[in-house]
Amino acid sequence: MSCLVVIPARYGSTRFPGKVLARLGGRPVVEWCWRSARAAGVGPVLVATEDERVRAAVEAFGGRAVLTPPACPSGSDRVWRAARGRSEALIINLQGDMPLVKPSTIRRVAELLRRRAGADLATAVTPLRDERRAADPNAVKAALARDGRALYFSRAPIPHPRDGAPARRYEHLGIYGFRRRALEKFVRLPPSPLERCERLEQLRALEAGMSIYAAVVSERPAAIDVPADLARTARLLRGR
């Protein structure tokens, strides 16, 4: 099945305006994401943005960008606006604030979606053992069934190990693979109560009965949500 990677790169981020153009290792953050997506080799790559400055920056480093309405309610809505006139059966939403995402992670998400016929969406998680990250609301946690089906996502540290019971915790990485029909259905749904509560768009899909399966990867997350994350990611980049 053909695959398209779309990177939603909104300039007007609430917590860190302009973060997709922040400099990291001499390049804008969004360029790192684009390079990883290109290296994954799963299909063509587009950047979807609402801002002319981002479009110009993407074209300056050789990428292709499309302008989308500023009022898109979520990153996946922005992805759909960029992809709806195309024909690829699978659409990968790679968030534009994950500069160190591994190409292998992108491939794992695409392969999982191809392999699991019953999956509406695919995503990626990584084992979470750091208690400080578990308590950080900017780190999104995932609870999974044994077969990898996502049961819930939360900013809270889930599952809670009551009475010292062992807890298998995962941190969610900001990447989604959609079947085209699933993405079209998703963006037509209104924001759901849990989505509004946690500010996590994937909960809209779960509340609507859509299935999400997760690939467990060893990648260390490096999403840039606030300015302090930029320095942390720069340290990770130097370590690589």
Separation between Cα atoms, residue 217 and residue 215, nearest integer Å: 6
Domain that holds residue 48: 3-239
* Selection from 65, 60, 64, 87 nearest residue 78 by Cα: 65
Separation between Cα atoms, residue 1 and residue 113, nearest integer Å: 10
> How large is the average pLDDT for residues 187-209?
95
Q: Sorting pLDDT into bands at 50, 70 and 90, what band is 135?
A: very high
**130 Cβ partners below 8 Å, 6+ apart?**
none
pLDDT above 90 coverage of the chain, percent: 81
Cβ neighbour number for residue 237 with a 10 Å cutoff: 14
Distance of CA 96 to the CA centre of its chain: 8
**pLDDT at residue 13, as a whole number:** 85
Q: Sorting pLDDT into bands at 50, 70 and 90, what band is 89?
A: very high
CATH number of residue 76's parent domain: 3.90.550.10
- 10-29 pLDDT, tens digit each: 998 888 999 999 999 999 99
> How large is the average pLDDT for residues 77-91?
95
- The total domain count for the chain is 1
Average pLDDT, the chain: 94
Bridging pattern class, strands 65-67 and 45-49: parallel
Q: What share of the chain is helix, strand, coil (3-state, %, to 5)?
A: 35, 25, 40
